[in-house]
Homo-oligomer: A and B are copies of this chain.
Amino acid sequence: MHTPICDDLGIEFPIFAFTHCRDVVVAVSKAGGFGVLGAVGYTPEQLEIELNWIDENIGDHTYGVDIVIPNKYEGMDSNLSADELTKTLQDMVPQEHIDFARKILADHGVPTDDSGADAFQLLGWTEATATPQVEVALRHPKVTLIANALGTPPVDMIKHIHDEGRKVAALCGSPSQARKHADAGVDIVIAQGGEAGGHCGEVGSIVLWPQVVKAVAPVPVLAAGGIASGEQIAAALALGAQGAWTGSQWLMVEEAEQTPVQQQAYAKADSRDTVRSRSFTGKPARMLRNDWTEAWEKPENPKPLGMPLQYMVSGMAVAATHKYPNESVDVAFNPVGQVVGQLNKVEKSATVIQRWVQEYLEATNRLDELNAAATA
């Protein structure tokens, strides 16, 4: 599965692993793939610590950092500093939403402690708060790729990253968005189908991938959404992608920080147990359906706020996911794609990479044998 993008980035397999766990980044890159650390939620200082740790443990391998600057978010037209913007946004969150969120948690016996909107800092999610994260990332030479998870990165930021000798990637859910990325100078377009975990559109991967490949050629495309096996990578490459951008699988590896309760929930779920919900981030994101996501769907309840306001409300549920994993099992934030139905056990990251390579070869051999039989 060696494609030109492997040579561009100096990696063995075009398998990109998005994760919030530094251990997974290291394990994947050392196994021949390319680990990408999701920076959202880290202060610049925390991010510096994470990247230092990765640098020390990853050897000669390289890795990426993923940031979140949506094309549209509350407060995006203001010229406020990160701190001012955070305060302004905190004041915009209706008390009704905070009270409703606290009630959902209380009804499930989850302590809400002192979690109001004011307890949450804006760590990423906007240009003002993501830019310092980019600055941190650029101080680390082994970071060879910076990806934006939502929208086209600002052109100044793209130029700055290029000037530092790194590549820029951006996710998209339509060929028109992909074209905007390419026109802005993005080096790698990630076409993410509606099967994906986290923020995603509605068009399925099998339809979206080839449309994006054609829309931005010769810019290389990575396929995302619905990939957690080597045969799914073979399908992506058959459709013209140069590699796979994957996420859900890396929640189910030994190196991940997921709690056992979360991993059990993922292992138990089938592919129909996810939902595209605005209840955590304010934009549609795919996750396990549970009492939290259902509560925000009911017509009589408050509607989710926009991004990033809703996160100031849902943050207390996210915090509870980590602090009270057992109590919060039915209200936890469990972002994952539809491939969750094929994730039934926890493996080592290196084992996953080896398995995918093997499955890829089996799938392409299957096609070879069909062609050979047809011409025999």
Question: Chain A: residues with CB nearer than 8 A to chain B?
Answer: 1-3, 174-176, 193-195, 201-208, 210-211, 225-227, 229, 231-232, 234-240, 270-272, 299, 337-339, 341-342, 361, 363-364, 366-368, 370-371, 373-374
Q: A71 to nearest B CB, angstroms?
A: 16
Hey, which chain B residues are within 8 Å of A272, CB to CB?
Answer: 174, 201-203
Q: A116 to nearest B CB, angstroms?
A: 31
New contact pairs (15) apart from A3-B370, A203-B338, A206-B226, CB-CB < 8 Å: A175-B341, A176-B270, A194-B204, A195-B203, A203-B341, A204-B206, A204-B225, A204-B226, A207-B271, A207-B338, A207-B341, A207-B342, A234-B367, A237-B370, A239-B363
Interface of A, secondary structure class, is helix
The answer to whether A229 touches B211 (Cβ under 8 A) is: no
3 closest cross-chain pairs (CB), A and B: A235-B235, A206-B226, A195-B204
In the bound assembly, the distance between CA atoms of A23 and B367 in angstroms comes to 32
In the bound assembly, the distance between CA atoms of A176 and B341 in angstroms comes to 12
The answer to whether A210 touches B234 (Cβ under 8 A) is: no
The answer to whether A1 touches B370 (Cβ under 8 A) is: yes
* A–B Cβ pairs within 8 angstroms, 12 of them: A3-B370, A175-B341, A205-B205, A205-B206, A207-B271, A207-B342, A210-B231, A231-B240, A234-B235, A361-B371, A364-B367, A368-B368
